[in-house]
Structure formats: C-alpha cells, structure tokens
Structure 1
C-alpha cells in the first residue's frame, strides 16, 4: 500500500514526513552522508520510505551546512541523534518501533551510535532495527567539504578535531577505532557495492564477519560491480529490500 505523505516541521527546524490516514506507525531516522543534510538527498529518501507506512525524520547533523555547502562532519554530538530516536519513539510513533537508515557517513553514524548505546545498556532509545549502505567498520576522520576527503592527512592528525563526540568526549571513538556493532542485539541490514572505491566493500565484509562470529544473523547484500552509490537497476532492487526489511522488523 502506498500512502500520501504530509510534511511537518520539527522543533529544531527539521522535517518530519508522516503517512496520512494511519496512526500510530513505526518510524525511521534517516542519516545523510557527506553530501550534507541540506542537499535534499536524505529528504528524498525519507519521503520515499514514508510512502510505505513509516514516519521518517531526515536528521541534519552536519555542521554549518547549507543548500550550497555540505557542512562539516566535525565534533558531531551523538547525543542529538539519541534524542531524535527518543523523540520518534515517544512523541511520533507513540511507543511503536523505531529504526535507522544511514548511507556512507550516515551508515558509520548509525552503527557507531548503536554500538555505544548497546555498550552502555541504553536500551530505551536503542533502535529496533538498523539498515546501512556503504558503511565503514572503523571510525573515519572528520570531514570538511573544501577538502572533499575524510582521509586527508591534515584532517587525521592528532591535533585535528574528531568527527564524533559521545558523552562529552571523543577519546574512545577516534580515527581507526573499530565500530563494535556486534554489541547490538537487534536486526542489521548491510549493503555495499563490490567496486566501491571510496570505502572498500571489505569494510562491510569485516562487519559481517564480526556479527556472525557473535552469533548474529545480519541481512547482507553485495552488489557486484557497483560503486559507493548504486545504478538505477541496483537501486530499484535495494529499495525493495529496504522496505521489506523495515516492514518485517518494525511492524511486529
């Protein structure tokens, strides 16, 4: 079933997309990549997911961004993302389940936050399902669009600010720190193009190995010959898989 979608403004000036005619519904927090939250891509993804019966919230977490400037991923406070999950569960979905979908840096963001929350047993706000595309298995460095790189030497020096902050500190989530998503006990969906030249597909394979070694059964999809983003044919398959995953994991 395809729903009509209505847009609402959130308290922080963001956008919340809600399907019309069915309440309450599960929600999905959408996390953008280095293209930034004002580029519109995460909003398009959120609107598309909302048509299938999910409240969706594309969180703009990049710093000092605009429609003409992607914004920095530097010293991003992960507590704001946790608060967004809490908002979706308590005020939007009214106790229904909440998932996260992230792409590239948004995938890193989603996996890192879930691993940290699981480590500290922050169960109330933990997402009920996580889907990521083109993730990394280790924490990446800070990103500034003018450098157009998350791995340039000047950004990854010990004196450079970190990409992420948790509980007021970045010391345990600096560049190269493994993202221990195996701590998370919920369902995980991972997809990656095998020809990705930005973040190698091996990063997803490493995540898969760790998850399976810990007794988890992640849903994994590798797209042969695809890069960091998917072509139209592969993206069509990916979209169907994403909707099926979230319907199965969030609707019960």
Structure 2
C-alpha cells in the first residue's frame, strides 16, 4: 500500500535547508574552495537566511576547525562577507586567507533591526551553528572547534554567542571580537541608553533605559561566567563610535570570573581601524588569526 501523492502545495517549496543539496563549490585560490548563498534557515513570512563558506582542501588530518564570522553594520545593515572597510580591497580577501591557513569559514546572515528585534539576530546565529553541525560531515568541518569572530555590531553578537550559545548548538571554543559593544545599559562614550534613536535602541525595539531587562539580556557583560571560552578583544583607544571601555570592561569581567581574556588596545585607532596604516591593519588580522589557530589547533 502506498501513501498519498504529495500535493502541489507540498511540492512547490524548495527543499528545507536541513536536507537541501549543497551548491557546487568553486575554487577561489590554491587550496581553497567557496560555496556562496547556502540556505541555513527558513522563517515564515521572511527571507531565507543564507551563509557563505570558504573551505580548505582536505589535508588528511581530519575535519577543519571553523571560524563563524559575524558582520558589522550597527545591527541595521551590512553584508555577511564583509570584514570591514579596511579589508575590502585585499587580494586575496580575509576569508580566503583564513581558509588558506587551514580554517573553514562560515559568514552568516542574520536578521537586521529593521526586520526583527533582539534576540532575533542571536537566534539566527545559533541556528547557523546548529545547521553547520548538522551538515558538518558533508562540509568536512569540525564545529566542536568553532571560534566566533565579529567586528563592531557583529562582535557584539559574536560575544553573546560565545557566552550564551543556546542548548541546541555546539558551544564556541573561542571568540575574536573587534571594537564591539559589550554593555547596552550604561552611558559609555557617545552611547546614551535614554536615546530611542540609537542603533542599540533600534536593535532592542526601545531605548535601552526603557527596557532594562532586555538591554541586560543583550549585553555580553551580563553573561560572563567562569565557563566562558578564551576571548581576544581588540579595540582602538581613539574609537569615536564604540568606546574602548566596552572591551576593557568585558576583559576585566572575564578575568574576574576566571575565564581567559586578552585585551589589545590599538593606539590611535578609530572605529573600523580608521587611522591605521595598512601594515598595522594586516598585523591585527594576523594576530587574530594566530589566536584562533592556537585555540582550535592547540598550537603553542
């Protein structure tokens, strides 16, 4: 006895991301292949969420560790494959360089503040990590060795993901955070928690001072405990958009809890590494890459 044939309504939608075939990989540099626009999540009444993947060729040493990169843009805009204005003209690009160093890279979409309020973007990143774990055998990646890396608003979300990964996702084993907010409850630099027009307020759906519990939930500083993974926090001491005190406070809290944290203050650097020479930006990237490799490959 056979079951009923599927209806047209059931046949029309594309396969669910959990079972959809992966797109073909394309070579982008020697030893590196890239998959673009891979769906990882479906949301009723909204766009599909996608990610891009840079994968190193198999070395025979087992699945590659993973960097999950989270883009910036004040939670309001941005592209998933953009590491910031100072890396946009790099050839090869930053994600190709990470993959050439043996690290798989996933750059994931998340819902922006014009689409959904917090915790939607954090939920999306948890879903991306869940999907990557589900499809890890096909991708030849090891999500049990994931470092999250984000810049600006993406660094804020990366911090939250590292500190509160959620019950259904593999917990990141490290975090690289560039010039990111850590506290949405306190006046720091240009940020005023009473202002309903800030990017932080648009993320939360109200001025942080008017929704203190939600602002606290969205603050990495409030989620620090002794189980936090190693953090590398890199911040310009001349940042005019996100005060360096955000990274200083998070580093202090992590250390006080007994969690490993390294803080690198970059003299004279404004937000997005504005004001630095190309060589200094490249050095910050290389330093961050080496930190990620030490964590996932247990290098000295």
- Common fold, TM-score beyond 0.5? yes
**8 Å contact from structure 1 (residues 100, 130) kept in 2:** yes
Q: Does 1:204 align with 2:247?
A: yes
**8 Å contact from structure 1 (residues 103, 133) kept in 2:** yes
C-alpha distance in 2, partners of 1:6/1:125? Answer: 24
Higher alpha-carbon Rg: 2
Aligned to 2:176: 131
Q: Deviations 1:49-103 (Å, cap 9, x if unpaired)?
A: 2221111111121439xxxxxx767443422211222233442324541110010
**8 Å contact from structure 1 (residues 181, 207) kept in 2:** no
C-alpha distance in 1, partners of 2:154/2:270? Answer: 17
**8 Å contact from structure 2 (residues 162, 229) kept in 1:** no
Aligned to 1:48: 97
C-alpha distance in 2, partners of 1:182/1:28? Answer: 21
**Count of residue pairs brought into register by the alignment:** 229
Q: How does 1:14-33 map to 2 (within 5 A)?
A: 14-22=51-59, 23-33=62-72
C-alpha distance in 1, partners of 2:250/2:35? Answer: 36
Residue 124 to residue 112, structure 1, CA distance change in 2 (3 Å):
closer
SS in structure 2 of the partner of residue 186 of structure 1:
coil
Aligned to 1:79: 123
Residue 94 to residue 205, structure 1, CA distance change in 2 (3 Å):
closer
TM-fit CA distance, 1:244: 0.9
Structure 2: any 5+ residue segments left out of the alignment?
1-28, 41-49, 186-190
Q: TM-score when scaled to structure 1?
A: 0.76
Higher relative contact order (CA 8 A, sep 6+): 1
Aligned to 2:292: 246
C-alpha distance in 1, partners of 2:163/2:130? Answer: 17
Q: Deviations 1:125-167 (Å, cap 9, x if unpaired)?
A: 2101111000122138xxxxxxxx997934369x966169xxx
Structure 1: any 5+ residue segments left out of the alignment?
65-70, 141-148, 165-169
**8 Å contact from structure 1 (residues 17, 57) kept in 2:** yes
TM-fit CA distance, 1:233: 2.5
C-alpha distance in 2, partners of 1:57/1:133? Answer: 17
TM-fit CA distance, 1:171: 7.5
TM-fit CA distance, 1:46: 2.8
Of 16-25 and 205-214, deviating more is 16-25
C-alpha distance in 2, partners of 1:3/1:188? Answer: 31
Aligned to 2:9: none
Deviation beyond 6 Å, 4+ runs, structure 1:
149-152
Aligned to 2:26: none
**8 Å contact from structure 1 (residues 5, 19) kept in 2:** yes
Residue 105 to residue 98, structure 1, CA distance change in 2 (3 Å):
same
Question: C-alpha root-mean-square deviation of aligned residues, in Å?
Answer: 3.4
Q: Does 1:180 align with 2:207?
A: no
